[in-house]
Structure 1
Amino acid sequence: MEPAGRFITFEGIDGAGKSSHIDTLAAAFRRLGETVTVTREPGGTPLAEKIRALLLNDAMDALTESLLVFAGRRDHLRCVIEPALARGEVVLCDRFTDATFAYQGGGRGFDAKVLSILERITQSGIALEPEKMRDPDLTIWFDLPPEMAAARLADARAPDRFESQPAEFFGRVRQGYAERASAAPQRFVRLDAGQPRDAVWSQLTGSLVQRGWLQAGTSDVGASAS
């Protein structure tokens, strides 16, 4: 039997502002009586968080990055995402496989065919039929020009190994996201993340209201959130 939950992922380059909306959306779902799991990648489990620390701080090549990302994702799916979906929960995940194709594929220039093989190995045969791969039910893409993202990050914490990359790298990452969105338009919702926060929130909740996943008027929640 198909898991009853909903799997929603949030994607975008560093500085796009996606993370600031996840907790607000989780609160909106909880007000509707939903049980919500909020998680992230890389990370989400004790093992995957250790892998996250390596990815953000230790020098390595694109293949090593990709193998580590998918190793953490496998543990994350087995221990957190699939069990929550089987319980009928809404899972909100800050980044998932689209980020790997955008960052390692687009940003690093790594072979997308190899990433596709790793994707199928990692995301198949956990709670679904052996041949069926776990994909998000919906992916919210916070699209922002790299120059705007860099300006937002300028006064943030000390940058990690990815955040410290030049604008050209993030331009390639953004193109990687665009290619993923073009290949799966039914799954992706693109948001103009350059708009003010309330306007981005309205775009986000509007897309969910259209799907019948939120009630009309939910956008008011974001307007009053800090």
Structure 2
Amino acid sequence: MELKKILEDVKNNELDIDSALEILKDLPYEDLGYAHIDHHRSIRNGYPEVIYCKGKSDEHILGIIDKMNRKNTNILGTRCRKETFEKIINIYPNAEYEEDSQILKIKNEKIKLQGKGKILIITGGTSDIPVADEAYYTAEFFGNEVERLYDVGVAGIHRLLSYRDIIDESRVIVVVAGMEGALPSVVGGLVDAPVIAVPTSVGYGANFDGLAPLLAMLNSCASGISVVNIDNGFGAGYLASIINKLK
């Protein structure tokens, strides 16, 4: 954590007070005019600020990355366009990109495994993978062991049941499904772990772009299920990480 390192460097006479003040002047946030970068978020919440790239110009994204990178922060971006990443990689060669999920990663420090158990990401179908991968890479980025179990939906429930050993050993389970959104209820009835349901916009007309599975998941009769917004893989991965780090 940067603030702790600054204090330790001052204590050990490796950094003078004036230099420390120069570094601290941009804390707790830095005003760029178009963005207020929350450099203290990791101190309050345990995780650094995440860049939601959709709707932002490439210029603004690069500006935010520049300021965060100067703090030696690990950077996670969601819904990042491939064209934007191609500009980023020219400036930051350590940047990584997961094309299906549109996840951007810049690792300035080694990610330490902090989770107490394993997070499992399950999908109903292959079409749900982009949202599921967003959850997967988010949870992985925040220091968790994460496993994927894809295309095991209720249309062929025997596929899910054949993986009971993997399901039973998971500490948190994220279930991603579109269509009628029945899969989280099935999983919730099998396990004693918390289940995070993610409705997707995958489905035909009456799916209403994810509204049908969202309502189905909110009305689940299985206990222990929480529900995030439609296609919000990031929110599910973030929440799963918080739960997995609880003692």
Same structural fold, with TM-score higher than 0.5 when normalized by the shorter chain: no
Q: Which has the higher contact order (CA 8 A, sep 6+)?
A: 1
Higher strand share: 2
Bigger Rg over Cα: 2
Q: Normalising by structure 2, what TM-score? A: 0.28
Q: Which has the higher helix share?
A: 1
